[in-house]
């Protein structure tokens, strides 16, 4: 189903990102925030990577969306139909992650393209989209996402391991910063940012009193089924759910019937032998 206007699709193709305000309602996002903050398994599975300046970058990830509250956010039509419009094909769930950028301690993310990593996973084309949904308000003070407008048109840049994080080669990034507009993506809870896998992005440390948690669900086009196995799935049909399922399942979670219903990635087990780019931040 067509959920984005032609102008929205055009804007995504021009800028490498599209901001959809109020993609999720206050109640939906409050329940997601509550479920994730209470989720001990999420907390315990979180990988913490040093950002090179003494602060940890924390995230939890899962490959299959499941039937619980997280799955409804990733499988609902408003999101999946939109991504299918942007990628012009059926898509499947590549993985989701919660970025746990905590107050005062949350680390910075270096400039990178998601395809900088996913290329290593057997995806031949950069036909993947990430959907970042704000759980907390994200501002310049608490380290909101920053993107370089139009950088997806540069193609994939080399990614280099520096400390524990892998990032895009700074030779190209420094030049791109001179020519492209840097956009601070300030989000209200429930806003979603759709961005292309070659869009250069980063975020600063959170030195504020306010947490900045965000859910990111990533999708791959069916025609881009990876040619080899990796720590993220090859094509696996995605069962879409009606938008009303988000609230229904989220409420059920708090009436004692539901659970997160996902298997978190164990970052210690990710195969590091195949490549030099293997820091846990490279989901």
| Residue 216 binds which of Mn ion, ligand SIN, none (CB < 5-8 A, kind-dependent) | ligand SIN
DSSP state of 267: G
Exactly one of 12, 109, 118, 264 binds ligand SIN (CB under 6 A); that residue is 109
Site map (CB under 6 A) of ligand SIN, residues 186-215, x = contact:
---------------x-x----------x-
| Residue with Cβ nearer Mn ion (114 or 136) | 114
| Residue 117 binds which of ligand SIN, Mn ion, none (CB < 5-8 A, kind-dependent) | none
Q: Is 237 exposed, middle or buried (CB count within 10 Å of its CB: 0-12, 13-18, 19+)?
A: exposed
Site map (CB under 6 A) of ligand SIN, residues 121-150, x = contact:
------------------------x-----
Site map (CB under 6 A) of ligand SIN, residues 212-241, x = contact:
--x-x-------------------------
Residue 47 in contact with ligand SIN, rule: CB under 6 A: no
What minimum distance in Å lies between the beta carbon of 203 and ligand SIN?
Answer: 3
Q: Take residue 212 and report the two structure tokens written for it.
A: 């900045």
Render 65-91 in DSSP notation, one character per residue: --SSHHHHHHHBHHHHHHHHHHHTS-E
What minimum distance in Å lies between the beta carbon of 214 and ligand SIN?
Answer: 5
What minimum distance in Å lies between the beta carbon of 280 and ligand SIN?
Answer: 11
Q: Take residue 247 and report the two structure tokens written for it.
A: 């609230």
Q: How far is CA 220 from each of CA 71, 107, 123, 143, 181, rounded to the nearest angstrom?
A: 16, 27, 9, 27, 27
Is residue 178 within 8 Å of residue 189, measured between CB atoms? Answer: no
Is residue 265 within 8 Å of residue 63, measured between CB atoms? Answer: yes
Is residue 96 within 8 Å of residue 65, measured between CB atoms? Answer: yes
Interacting residue ranges for ligand SIN, rule: CB under 6 A: 99, 109, 145, 201, 203, 214, 216
């Amino acid at each position: 189903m067509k959920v984005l206007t032609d102008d929205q699709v055009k804007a995504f193709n021009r800028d490498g990102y599209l901001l959809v305000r109020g993609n999720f309602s206050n109640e939906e996002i409050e329940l997601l925030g509550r479920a994730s903050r209470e989720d001990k398994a999420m907390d315990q599975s979180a990988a913490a990577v040093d950002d090179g300046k003494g602060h940890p970058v924390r995230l939890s990830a899962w490959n299959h969306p499941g039937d619980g509250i997280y799955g409804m956010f990733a499988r609902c039509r408003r999101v999946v139909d939109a991504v299918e419009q942007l990628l012009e094909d059926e898509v499947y769930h590549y993985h989701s992650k919660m970025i746990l950028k905590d107050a005062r301690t949350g680390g910075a993310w270096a400039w990178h393209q998601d395809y900088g990593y996913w290329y290593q996973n057997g995806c031949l084309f950069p036909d993947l989209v990430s959907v970042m949904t704000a759980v907390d308000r994200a501002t310049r003070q608490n380290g909101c996402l920053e993107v370089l407008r139009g950088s997806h048109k540069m193609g994939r840049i080399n990614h280099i391991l520096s400390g524990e994080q892998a990032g895009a080669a700074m030779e190209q990034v420094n030049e791109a910063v001179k020519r492209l507009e840097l956009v601070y993506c300030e989000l209200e809870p429930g806003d979603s940012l759709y961005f292309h896998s070659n869009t250069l992005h980063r975020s600063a440390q959170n030195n504020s009193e306010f947490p900045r948690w965000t859910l990111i669900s990533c999708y791959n086009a069916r025609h881009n089924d990876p040619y080899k196995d990796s720590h993220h799935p090859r094509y696996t049909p995605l069962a879409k759910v009606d938008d009303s399922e988000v609230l229904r399942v989220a409420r059920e979670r708090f009436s004692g019937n539901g659970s997160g219903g996902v298997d978190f990635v164990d970052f210690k087990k990710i195969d590091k032998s195949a490549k030099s780019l293997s820091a846990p931040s490279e989901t």
